Structures are given as structure tokens and as C-alpha cells.
Amino acid sequence: MQKRKLGNSGLEVSALGLGCMGLSFGLGPATEKNEAIKLIRAAYDNGVTFFDTAEAYGPFANEEVVGEALAPVRDKVVIATKFGFNNGVPTQGTDSTPERIKVVAEASLKRLHTDRIDLFYQHRVDPNVPVEEVAGTVKDLIQQGKVKHFGMSEAGAATVRRAHAVQPVTALQSEYSLWWREPEMEILPTLEELGIGFVPFSPLGKGFLTGAISEKTEFDKTDFRNIVPRFAAGARKANQALVDALGKIADQKEATKAQIALAWLLAQKPWIVPIPGTTKLHRLQENLGGAEVQLTTDDLKAIREAVLAIDVQGERYPASFQSLVNR
């Protein structure tokens, strides 16, 4: 697989990473540990060198699985994890106090079976702690050799600038896909100006852009999508038009909808590295094939025109989550 560099930091990773959250958290029952390890190692065997986890995924269980899976190849991969929630539990609110950041770093190092965190993200901006203080704390961890790079997640452009002035931000991780293009307005220009990489999560619209989800799909009771307005049955029915349009283009390119969606993201900027997640080996293989799809200028124009013609229905987060994003 081709490699990419996250902005001006010099941090080189595979063009597609693996988002590991769904193996332990958020999208139904956790994958059995040995099966999860098998999938992570299969990703590595197929060229993936960038793996994304967080203390909040489980909480804690996902870091342990990722750490065990990658221990044999630790020096050949880049592991990203995150801090920023009280006790590692998103529903308990944010906590990016310096003391908490240091505690999370030490605990994550142990769970990941490593002596350094390659990329340490603030999971969500904490309104009670100045971002300069957060950046300064991570800067100290970098100077101690416990962390290599600082990242942020779902932060607004102004906040990224403030943090970057204290400790250079290597990457911003936020949602970006063919059905959520808001980052194009302010985030992408800011990152390009500052030389910061962009790591889109949910690049396949939490599975919707693959075409595997319809208005009749029933999610497991533990699946986060049950409370997401964009996944309400009516919204899914309306949003099927986007999947259908994607399918026409995929057929022309002899690719799948997922591969076109990922290829489109890769074509936007050379410093964008999507991290699709999956629990299935055949989906992993399919997703990685997206890095091989070459979209022409005409292809990109056709995709853009198709997307602009469709008004995606439903908010991407429930109202209770809105305050956590784009601060």
C-alpha cells in the first residue's frame, strides 16, 4: 500500500488506516478477542501501518486488543490513541486536565504494550481547560519521550490554531465523507495552511455508504446508530438516493461503493488518511482495495455533481452530542 505523510510532521503512515473502535465498542457486541486480533494482524499483513484506538473504546478493552495484536510488529506501525473523557467514559463528560492526561498516557502505554504513543489525540475539546494548557501538557510528554505526536479530534479551526501555537498539531481527526462534507468549509483550508494532516473517521458514513444498510435494517440494541438521527428509518429511506448515485459510479469503475467513497477521500488532499473500521475480514479486503482505485477529474466531477443533487437527511449526532464537536 502507498504511504502518506500527515501534514508537515514527517509522520508517515499507510494511505488507509484501520479504525479499531468497532471491534470493542459502539457498533454492537464486541468482537471476540482472538478474532479481533486476527483482523488487526490481517490489516497489517495487507499493508496497513496506522491503527486507531482510544481509552474510551470499551472503555479500555480496545487498547488492550490493539496492543496485543501489534506487539510483534510494534516498531513497524503507528498507533494512535486518545485522552479527554472523565474516567474514559464519554457519557461522564470531558476531562483534559493535565493530571488526567498524564494518568491516561501511563495507562495507555501499559495497555498498548509499548514505551511510546505515536499519536496522542485530545478526543474532544474540554471547555473547562484552556487548549493551550492541554497542548503544553502533551508537549511535556513529548519531551519525556512518552508521546511522539499531538493530535486533536472534532476541534474547530480556531481551537486548532491556538493549540498548534503551543505544540504543533500533527493531525486532526474528524468525521468526513461523501455524506458529511462540512470540514471542506473551514477545517481543510486551515489544516493546509498550518501543515496539519487530516484523519477522517466514519469515511463510509458509519457503514451507510457501503449499501449494506437500508431503511429496514435493525441494529443491535447496543449499537450507537440507534440514537443517531441520520439513521432513523425515514432518514435512511431518504438518504438511499446518495447510495444509489454512488452505486452507478462504482459500476462504471468496476469497484464497490465503499471503494469509491474511500478513493474519493484520498483524492481530496495528499495529506488525508481515512481510517475505515470493520469487524469482517472480507470488508477489510474490500476497503483496502479503495486505495487502488484511481479517480479521474471527470470521475470526481461526476461524484461531486451527484452528491450536490442530494440533500442528506438527519443530523450526524443526537442533540446531546452536539456540544462536544467543533469547539
The conformation of residue 325, written as its DSSP 8-state character, comes to S
Angle between helices 131-143 and 157-166 (to 10 degrees): 40
Query: pTM for the full model?
Result: 0.97
Half-sphere exposure of 253 (CA within 13 A, CB side): 27
Q: What is the pLDDT of residue 325?
A: 84
Q: What is the pLDDT of residue 125?
A: 97
Nearest CA-CA partner of 142 in 134, 132, 150, 130: 150
Given a contact cutoff of 8 angstroms between Cβ atoms, the answer to whether 196 and 169 are in contact is yes
Q: What is the pLDDT of residue 326?
A: 77
Nearest CA-CA partner of 151 in 9, 324, 322, 4: 9
Q: How many Å apart are CA 141 and CA 147, to the nearest integer?
A: 6
Q: What is the pLDDT of residue 3?
A: 98
What averages of pLDDT result for each successive group of 10 residues across the chain (327 residues)?
Answer: 97 98 95 98 98 98 98 98 97 96 98 98 98 98 98 98 98 97 97 98 97 95 95 96 95 97 98 98 98 96 93 92 80
Respond yes or no: is residue 317 known to be catalytic: no
44, 57, 121, 176: the active-site residue: 57
pLDDT in tens, 115-162: 999 999 999 999 999 999 999 999 999 999 999 999 999 999 999 999
Q: What is the pLDDT of residue 327?
A: 87
Q: How many Å apart are CA 251 and CA 261, to the nearest integer?
A: 13
Question: Which whole-number Å values give the CA distances from 301 to 208, 252, 268, in the listed order?
Answer: 22, 14, 12
Q: What is the pLDDT of residue 115?
A: 98
Domain ranges of the chain: 3-324
User: 130 phi and psi, to 5 degrees?
Assistant: -55, 135
Q: Of how many residues is the chain composed?
A: 327
Helices (H), 78-209: 98-111, 131-143, 157-166, 187-194
Q: What is the pLDDT of residue 160?
A: 98
CATH class of 3-324: alpha beta
